[in-house]
Amino acid sequence: MEQKDKHLKVTAIKNGTVLDHIPAESLFKVINILNLSKRPNQITIGSNLDSRSMGKKGIIKISEYFFEDEEIGEIALVAPNATINIIRNYEVVEKRIISIPESFVGIFRCMNPMCVTNHQDIPTKFTTIRERNEVLLLCHYCEKTTDTRNLKIVSKK
């Protein structure tokens, strides 16, 4: 039933990638992280769609584009349970699972206001660490951690 509703709201694509089950509040972060505004492909975005499992969700359909694993991994912290469907000839031919990368370069801001990356034009670098079920980003420069609740995205040029 849910599947049918979705088709009414967001048109199907022939070949490409569908990112589904994106938390509604993270949709624009995902768009930012994947730098979609700079992509020439045809892109359909659905925001605040009804979802039986999530309440509200976001969905992104990108025609004729297939992400590299590292590229898609970058959204792991803002949309950990998103599903990645690879579409060929209107059929889902592969479902991919997002795994959290070991490091993040140039995507998130360091939450330490005294960190050099917040004052100079330096791409941030973090190592992913796990501490009691929590994922933290350890800054390569100031050696402080940023938690996922304080994630801010570096605006891409």
Partner 1 sequence: MPKNLISIHDFSKKEILHIVEIAADFEKNKSQNILNDKVVACIFFEPSTRTRLSFETAANRLGARVIGFADAANTSIAKGESLKDTIKMVSNYVDIIVIRHPLEGAARYASEVTPVPVINAGDGANQHPTQTLLDIYSINKTQGRLDNLTINMVGDLKYGRTVHSLLQAMSFFSPNFVFTSPDELRMPLEYKRFLEGKGIPYTETRQLSEHLDSSDIIYMTRVQQERFNDPIEYENVKNVYRLEAGMLSNVRDNLKILHPLPRVNEIAADVDDTPYAYYFKQAENGMYVRMAIIAYLLGYR
The whole-angstrom separation of Cα 125 and Cα 140 is 5
Interface positions, 120-149, toward partner 1 (CB under 8 A): 120-122, 139-144
Q: Is 137 in the site for Zn ion (CB under 5 A)?
A: no
119 is a contact residue toward partner 1 (CB under 8 A): yes
Residue with tokens 């979802």, as numbered in its chain: 51
The residues in 4-43 that bind partner 1, with binding defined as CB under 8 A, are none
Size of the site for partner 1 (CB under 8 A): 15
Nearest to 78 by CA among 117, 157, 24, 131: 24
Tell me which stretch binds Zn ion (CB under 5 A): 5-13, 18-26, 35-43, 112-120.
112-120
Residue 59: closest CA among 75, 48, 70: 48
133 contacts 120 by C-beta, under 8 angstroms = no
C-beta closer to partner 1: residue 132 or 149: 132
Residues at the interface with Zn ion (CB under 5 A)? 110, 112, 115, 139, 141-142
